[in-house]
Amino acid sequence: MDPRAFIDIMRITGRLKDMTRHSWTEKGRHESVAEHTYQLLMMAYFCRDEFPEADMGRVMEMCLFHDMGEAFTGDIPTFEKTDADECEESRQVSAWIRSLPEEYRERVRSLFSEMDAKESTEARIYKALDKLEAVIQHNEADISTWIPLEYRLNLDYGQEETRFSEFFRKVRQLAKEDSEDKIRQARREEDSR
């Protein structure tokens, strides 16, 4: 790869370190998109034995690139994202892919096509992980960072995407129970004041 192209790619992908998400960390600061991506990669690595039929390297590539559009548009929470936002993000990602060196262009383009289609086992795994990570991260954050909508959303988010896998259904159920415990605890504390 041309060294200048390499530096240019790193400059753009590095933006994800500064792009904050709607989620908060356990220590009380906004999570970056890069931190979310890192956690997704860890999740994919540690569930690989649950999916021996899947190309987990491909899943990890999907996890790595899935939020690349946010390097251009910033994070827009799922519950606020419009069709126009989706179109703009897609346009920006397509332009970025076209700017990649030829030897990477088709590989990255095909990842996005596969993720968008949500038909392959690998795309379904990546999408389930993406939803699960958001719920788990919310459970790690202080409940004071939750907006009212999230009291319901954290109980339901990702149900559909995790349904295809017994392992993911179990993880989702445990995350839901953690959310319910967190909500009950917050209400007890509020009632005791």
Q: What CATH number should be reported for the domain holding residue 166?
A: 1.10.3210.10
Residue 160 has pLDDT above 90, yes or no: yes
Higher-confidence residue of 81 and 43: namely 43
Quick: pLDDT tens for 175-188: 999 999 999 998 99
Answer for the pair 122, 162: CB distance below 8 angstroms, yes or no: no
Domain that holds residue 122: 3-192
Model confidence at 191, pLDDT cuts 50, 70, 90, reads confident
Residue 182 CA to residue 138 CA, distance in Å, equals: 10
**pLDDT score of 139:** 96
Cβ partners under 8 Å of residue 87, min gap 6: none
Residues in the chain: 193
Q: What is the mean predicted confidence (pLDDT) over 157-175?
A: 97
Q: Which pair of tokens denotes residue 58?
A: 């491909």
How many alpha carbons lie under 13 Å from residue 2 in its C-beta half-sphere? Answer: 10
- pTM comes to 0.93
Question: How does pLDDT run across 53-96, given as a tens digit for each residue?
Answer: 999 999 999 999 999 999 999 898 888 899 999 999 999 999 99
The count of domains in the chain is 1
Mean pLDDT of the chain: 95
Per-residue pLDDT at 145: 93
pLDDT value for 29 = 93
Return the SS3 of 26.
coil
Q: What is the pLDDT of residue 94?
A: 97
pLDDT at residue 77, rounded to an integer: 85
